[in-house]
Homo-oligomer: A and B are copies of this chain.
Amino acid sequence: MPRRYLSWMVAAAAASKTIIEVTVVGKDRKGVVADITNFIFQNGGNIEKINQNVVRGLFGMQLEASFVQAKRKDLDAGLKDLAKKLQMEIKVHYQEPDRLRNVAILVSKEPHCIKRILAGRKKGEIKANLAVVIGSEPSLKPVADEAGIPFHSVSHADQAEAERNILDLIEKYNVDLIVLARYMRILTPNFVWRYPNRIINIHPSLLPAFPGAYAYVQAYERGAKIVGCTAHFVTEDLDQGPIICQESFKVSDSDTLDTIKKKGQELEAETLFEAVRLYLEGRLEVYWGKVLVHD
């Protein structure tokens, strides 16, 4: 790892500091930044990163702070009060490196990606508690059942309602990492902002090429000679989040759209699994939109 990338998280840990991540989501109003930052300062915290955004009147803030001595009880109580005062939803994530991570897998119809993750856990390639599988439809219930993981089918007739239901499940299972294993829906900022750098998606192209739907069709029609896939963190900008892993293969004249899709899907499964593995091993750091993979 090049020294210039020596993570402040690592440095903080070395200095036995505590890192907390705070997310704030709610209807936009003035004064939120001042109130939150003041609260952190008054409790002895240093603001290491801070980011805010507003989309369609919805405000989202992500903040990372370091504490020499974090009084978790005081922070929790204080932020709860602040949430009430500001009428915002505020959530705190404490970094507890030694705790087994709880993982939610979101799926639609395609089984190849979830199957690779399940196989990887079985083989001991990853250590994690695969806590819950959530489907935008019931197709993959048997896959979850066989692995002995709770499966919830969430109706997506109304996307906002679907997201509320998924958020409830995420909360209930105390989820640390959300894996979109060919989950074919687009999550809104209201969802995404609550889990910065905690949602991993697999996209069937070498982003930024061929974003959006029908990536293989687009690549095939464009005559691309190299096709691939990208595992990335999810942000409010569709298919533009930080890239974790990319894999590719060559296309020849004898390939059809079908053979490209088939090869692509195998690669998707491996690439997503690799990204999940790196995450669970604590080796990923996001820095200004780029993912650093630490040894």
Chain A interface residue count, Cβ-Cβ cutoff 8 angstroms? 55
One digit per residue, 1 when the CB lies within 8 angstroms of any chain B CB and 0 when it does not, for chain A 43-75 equals 000111111101110000000001000000000
Q: Which of B2, B11, B50, B221 contacts A290 (CB 8 A)?
A: B221
In the complex, the answer to whether B28 meets A47 with C-beta atoms within 8 Å is no
In the complex, the answer to whether A1 meets B291 with C-beta atoms within 8 Å is no
In the complex, the answer to whether B222 meets A288 with C-beta atoms within 8 Å is no
CB distance from A152 to the nearest CB of B (A): 26
In the complex, the answer to whether B8 meets A253 with C-beta atoms within 8 Å is no
Task: Check: A33 CB closer than 8 A to any chain B CB.
Answer: yes
Which one of A52, A223, A224 has the highest number of Cβ atoms from chain B below 10 Å of its Cβ? A223
Task: Check: A142 CB closer than 8 A to any chain B CB.
Answer: no
In the complex, the answer to whether B33 meets A291 with C-beta atoms within 8 Å is no
Can you list 12 A-B contacts (CB < 8 A)? Answer: A30-B48, A31-B48, A33-B47, A33-B48, A34-B46, A37-B50, A38-B46, A41-B41, A54-B288, A225-B246, A253-B292, A253-B294
